[in-house]
Chains A and B, each alone.
Chain A
Amino acid sequence: MSGSVRAISTALSTSHRGGLLLRATKATKEVKRASSRTGGSGGSGAPSHEVSGARYEMMKQILYQEEPRQLPPLSTEDVDRHMTIMRAQKIFHMTASATRRAERMAKFESMRSAYEALADLDQRLFDGACQKEANATFPRQMRVPTETPPTKIWDYLTK
């Protein structure tokens, strides 16, 4: 048992990455050998190490010295308020998503009718508009393509 602990501590103390990996695998083998010597973990949940000592006492104290916090009991009024808030939230999200969807549909419809009008006017221009540009990352109408990216990529504080 202590042999495996020593193996793990030696593994952790090395700084060389390759050496750490090598010693970690050695340590796991040690742990496995130790556990097989003791017959593996007794039962499904029993720890394979001793749970006694000052360290464990300190851990137990820190975890269990205070009563776990209880949520305050909700009165019927509070439950009513909660249900009303949940319904209002649902309405809010529903209307917001409906608005966004309407905007998307309107945008698509305007694009579609524009393409239709172009097709009626000039077939050559229409075919050109339908063709996708190769290696395009942003619309050329947005800004002039440059050799190098801008010095200030994104304004984090305002956007």
Chain B
Amino acid sequence: MNSARRALTLARFGRKAATSQPRIQTLCRRLQSTYVRPATGVNPAYDEAVKIIDAYAAKKAAETEVAAKELAQAQGSGTATEAQISALKKKWFDLAVEAEINDPEVLWSAKQGKYDLSRPVFLHLREQAWRGRPLEILMQRLLQMFVLPDMLDPRDVGTPSAQLNIALAGSPDSVLEPGSIIDPSEAREQPEIELVKSHEDSRLHTLVMVDLDEPLEMQQTFREQFHWVVANLPFSKSQSKAKPADGLTLLPYVPPHPAKGTPNHRYAFVLFEQGENGSSTMESVEVSRDSVLRSFAAQHDLRLAGISFFRASWNESVDDVYRDVLKQAPPNFGEAPTPRSDIGPDGRKINVYENY
């Protein structure tokens, strides 16, 4: 008995220390389709917590109603200024969020990605989810790949207020990560654009698609080229997708055509809010494909709402685009092959040694 225990002890002496973290079974959570409230009567601390949360939520709900009445009064009176009304709106919104944000069902739904956009708490949580990581990734990619200093002044852009999602025509449900490299054939049809806003009412926007790396052979450099411009697209916090047919197409869509021998082209999508807080309508104007985005935005009084981009480089499908859409011979850039000095005019190797 003693020797067995001793053997066990010695065996355990060399054993690694066991982890003290609780094993959480998360598989069940992913399979749940509706939220199931935890049972009461198991953990007394939980029962008290539920009471505290409910009391706080009730208090905040009452304050929200008071704020809503104040806002309605201010809007109806006609004497309140814009600033006062927006301050009261913000106060109502913050209270409405505070009232429901501690509800476990709300937090569970948000984590699943199910946002009921009629409730302010979900608008808030959706924006928080975007600002958590996707916005960081977007800004990192924009700056890392120099989309921002090349196309727009980073100081003017600051932090975009809305999320622009690009979904390629072939796969409308999967959103492209900003900066991802795609096959040019996937962008042959115009992609679907989604603008996710959290606060504003319906405003008119202009979508511009720019190729930042169109080669300029004469100057041996690259320049911007507009691929697609659509104006008067309505977006609001409830309507995040707009059909290009609803807007005014100033430049029809030209698919990406990165020429052979050029490096990865960056194709940027920029959604601008039109002048006068999105209420001014853009008339049919002549837009050249050789425009520069900075001057275009300044000329038409456009303010940035959302931005994203993808990259593409040449493959055989691009030559089809040149022939069918652009009606040009597909160009072939790159250095000419260096002439070999060890092969003669007859194609055979030149003898270096005289007596060989």
Q: Which of B10-18, B203-211, B323-331 contacts the other chain?
A: B10-18
- In the complex, are the beta carbons of A76 and B9 less than 8 A apart? no
- A145 → chain B closest CB, angstroms: 46
- In the complex, are the beta carbons of B25 and A76 less than 8 A apart? yes
- In the complex, are the beta carbons of B53 and A91 less than 8 A apart? yes
Q: Which of B36-44, B163-171, B336-344 contacts the other chain?
A: B36-44
Name the residue among A57, A75, A85, A95 with the largest chain B CB count within 10 angstroms.
Answer: A85
Question: How many residues does chain B have at the interface if contact means C-beta atoms less than 8 Å apart?
Answer: 35
- In the complex, are the beta carbons of B52 and A81 less than 8 A apart? no
> What string of 1s and 0s marks CB contacts (under 8 Å) between A71-99 and chain B?
11111111111011101110110010000
Name the residue among A74, A77, A83 with the largest chain B CB count within 10 angstroms.
Answer: A77
Chain B residue contacts of A123, Cβ below 8 A: none
Question: How many residues does chain A have at the interface if contact means C-beta atoms less than 8 Å apart?
Answer: 28
Q: Assess A89 versus B49: contact at CB under 8 Å? Given A61-B5, A64-B9, A81-B42.
A: yes
B interface SS class: helix
Chain B residue contacts of A92, Cβ below 8 A: 52
- In the complex, are the beta carbons of A84 and B38 less than 8 A apart? yes
Chain A residue contacts of B38, Cβ below 8 A: 77-78, 80-81, 84
- In the complex, are the beta carbons of A65 and B22 less than 8 A apart? no
- In the complex, are the beta carbons of B49 and A73 less than 8 A apart? no
- In the complex, are the beta carbons of B45 and A61 less than 8 A apart? no
- In the complex, are the beta carbons of B43 and A81 less than 8 A apart? yes
User: For residue B20, which residue of chain A has the nearest CB?
Assistant: A71
- In the complex, are the beta carbons of A75 and B25 less than 8 A apart? yes
Q: Does residue B28 face the partner (Cβ distance < 8 Å to A)?
A: yes
Q: When chains A and B are docked, how far (Å) is the Cα of A77 from the Cα of B32? A: 12
Q: Does residue B26 face the partner (Cβ distance < 8 Å to A)?
A: yes
- B236 → chain A closest CB, angstroms: 32
Q: Contact check: which of A77, A84, A95 meets B39 at CB < 8 Å? A: A77
- In the complex, are the beta carbons of B9 and A60 less than 8 A apart? yes
- A106 → chain B closest CB, angstroms: 20
Q: Contact check: which of B8, B9, B28, B53 meets A87 at CB < 8 Å? A: B53
User: For residue B12, which residue of chain A has the nearest CB?
Assistant: A64
- In the complex, are the beta carbons of B13 and A73 less than 8 A apart? no
Q: Which residues, 43 to 84 on B, are CB-close (under 8 Å) to A?
A: 43, 45-46, 48-50, 52-53, 56
- In the complex, are the beta carbons of B13 and A72 less than 8 A apart? no
> What string of 1s and 0s marks CB contacts (under 8 Å) between B261-277 and chain A?
00000000000000000
Q: When chains A and B are docked, how far (Å) is the Cα of A77 from the Cα of B218? A: 68
- In the complex, are the beta carbons of B104 and A84 less than 8 A apart? yes
Q: When chains A and B are docked, how far (Å) is the Cα of A85 from the Cα of B38? A: 12
Name the residue among A65, A79, A84 with the largest chain B CB count within 10 angstroms.
Answer: A84
Q: When chains A and B are docked, how far (Å) is the Cα of A91 from the Cα of B49? A: 9
Chain B residue contacts of A75, Cβ below 8 A: 25, 28
Chain B residue contacts of A18, Cβ below 8 A: none
Q: Does residue B23 face the partner (Cβ distance < 8 Å to A)?
A: yes
User: For residue A85, which residue of chain B has the nearest CB?
Assistant: B49
Chain B residue contacts of A88, Cβ below 8 A: 48-50, 52-53, 102
Chain A residue contacts of B285, Cβ below 8 A: none
> What string of 1s and 0s marks CB contacts (under 8 Å) between A12-25 and chain B?
00000000000000
Q: When chains A and B are docked, how far (Å) is the Cα of A70 from the Cα of B45? A: 22
Q: Contact check: which of A68, A71, A84 meets B49 at CB < 8 Å? A: A84
Chain B residue contacts of A70, Cβ below 8 A: 18, 20
Q: Does residue B216 face the partner (Cβ distance < 8 Å to A)?
A: no
Q: Does residue B1 face the partner (Cβ distance < 8 Å to A)?
A: no
Q: Does residue B29 face the partner (Cβ distance < 8 Å to A)?
A: yes
- In the complex, are the beta carbons of B25 and A73 less than 8 A apart? yes
- In the complex, are the beta carbons of A68 and B17 less than 8 A apart? yes
Which 3 pairs, one residue from A and one from B, show the smallest C-beta to C-beta distance? A88-B49, A81-B46, A73-B23
Please list 5 pairs of residues, one from A and one from B, whose beta carbons are closer than 8 Å in the complex, sorted by A's number. Answer: A71-B21, A72-B22, A75-B28, A77-B42, A85-B49
Interface residues of B (CB under 8 A from A): 5-6, 8-10, 12-13, 17-18, 20-26, 28-29, 32, 36, 38-39, 42-43, 45-46, 48-50, 52-53, 56, 102, 104, 107
Taking A84-B50, A88-B49 as known contacts, 18 extra A-B pairs with beta carbons closer than 8 A to each other, sorted by chain A number, are: A65-B9, A68-B17, A68-B20, A72-B22, A73-B24, A74-B23, A75-B28, A76-B25, A76-B32, A77-B36, A83-B104, A84-B49, A84-B104, A85-B45, A85-B46, A88-B48, A89-B49, A91-B52
